[in-house]
Amino acid sequence: MELSWLNWLYEAVATVIAWIHAGYSTFIPSDNGLNWALTIITLTVLMRLLIFPLFLKQMRSSKKMQELAPKVADLRKKYKNDKQRMNQEVMKVYQEGGANPLGGCLPVVAQFPIFISMFTVLQAIANDQDKFGMSQELVDSARSAHIFGAPIPATFFTSSTDILALGADPIITKIILGIFVAVSSATTFLTVRQSVTRSIAQMPDNPMAQQQKILMYISPLFAIFSLNFALGLILYWVTTNLWTLGQQHWFYSRHPMPVIDSKGNVVEPEPKPGVLSRILPGRAAKAKAPVDAPPPEPEQKIIRQQPTRQPRSKRTGTKKS
């Protein structure tokens, strides 16, 4: 899968890996599996932070789709007997409003070159090649690192002889790889399901809705292909999926689906309470109080009328005149 015209990207990824690994090596042995696991996870997080602007663009597009929901609802009523015309008019409204129903694909497309680069760099390490600016010392430390007893560059189909050469047990290695592949498949399915469910609910008459549903159920089959991936690459993919799940949940919980009333107006639902409001409900309620709310009126004291006491003479006890 190595493409010569992407060598600059391979070298960039290999350089970042070397920097991160050197940083962790200051307090973790360089050939330790924890060191390399943290290196791959950190690289994944940095990559996702790099493409975060694309995620913001995706959020803006989703917000515009919510604002255009009343127009889309009118078009669905108007052309309910003509699906083709309805889809054309709906797509026209989205284009004029600057909304992109496929905007959620941007982060996936952006991270694909990084995925290819990781695959190529790990493949070079598995083949014991100091390519793309990597030193032989870095390659040796990666080949010696084990995660739960499985070598970083090993795949499910790596021969037992090669696994033994990497200092690991072939049976344990295949079990660990099988578990990682299952986790990769499950997180891939959950990530796609979360996105497709939201997309279909937002645009039920999307002409690509059926294809999205098919993609959602085919995504677990990705595990079949990941059996050919190195353990380090599968760890990268699992980390990416977990990040995407958390990021999408954070966005969807704060931007619920809009509700359209009988007049066709968009009623913005209240976002779900966050962790702070669940821990400190009193503080959250105080934050929700309107700023310009009038202060409560002070309670009026009830003054009881007491009878006036008449002064009496100390000697006779009679009232003074």
The per-residue DSSP string of 81-139 comes to T-HHHHHHHHHHHHHHHT--TTTTHHHHHHHHHHHHHHHHHHHHHHTT---TT--HHHH
- Give the CA radius of gyration of the chain: 32
Evaluate whether residue 222 is within a structural domain.
Answer: yes
Evaluate whether residue 287 is within a structural domain.
Answer: no
Evaluate whether residue 320 is within a structural domain.
Answer: no
- Axis crossing angle, helix 170-202 with helix 209-218, rounded to the nearest 10: 160
Question: Two tokens at 84?
Answer: 């083709």
Amino acid (one-letter) located at 153: P
Helix (H) or strand (E) holding 266: strand 266-267
Q: Using the CB atoms, write b or e for 193-218: b if 16+ within 10 Å.
A: bbbbebbbebbeebeeeeeeeeebee
d(CA 122, CA 154) in angstroms, rounded, equals: 9
Evaluate whether residue 311 is within a structural domain.
Answer: no
d(CA 257, CA 41) in angstroms, rounded, equals: 32
- Axis crossing angle, helix 52-67 with helix 33-50, rounded to the nearest 10: 50
Evaluate whether residue 296 is within a structural domain.
Answer: no
d(CA 245, CA 190) in angstroms, rounded, equals: 8
Angle at the Cα of 259 (from 58 to 72), degrees rounded to 5? 65
pLDDT of the chain along its 321 residues, tens only? 556 677 888 888 889 999 999 999 999 998 899 999 999 999 989 988 888 887 777 777 766 776 676 777 777 777 777 777 777 777 777 777 766 666 656 666 777 888 788 888 888 887 888 888 888 899 889 888 999 999 998 888 888 898 898 888 999 999 999 999 999 888 888 887 877 777 666 656 555 566 667 777 777 777 778 888 889 888 988 898 898 888 878 877 776 665 544 454 555 555 555 444 454 555 444 544 444 545 555 555 555 555 555 555 555 555 555
Evaluate whether residue 300 is within a structural domain.
Answer: no
Evaluate whether residue 249 is within a structural domain.
Answer: yes
Domain holding 50, by residue range, is: 4-257
The total domain count for the chain is 1
pTM of the complete model beyond 0.95:
no
Question: Two tokens at 44?
Answer: 């994944």
Evaluate whether residue 269 is within a structural domain.
Answer: no
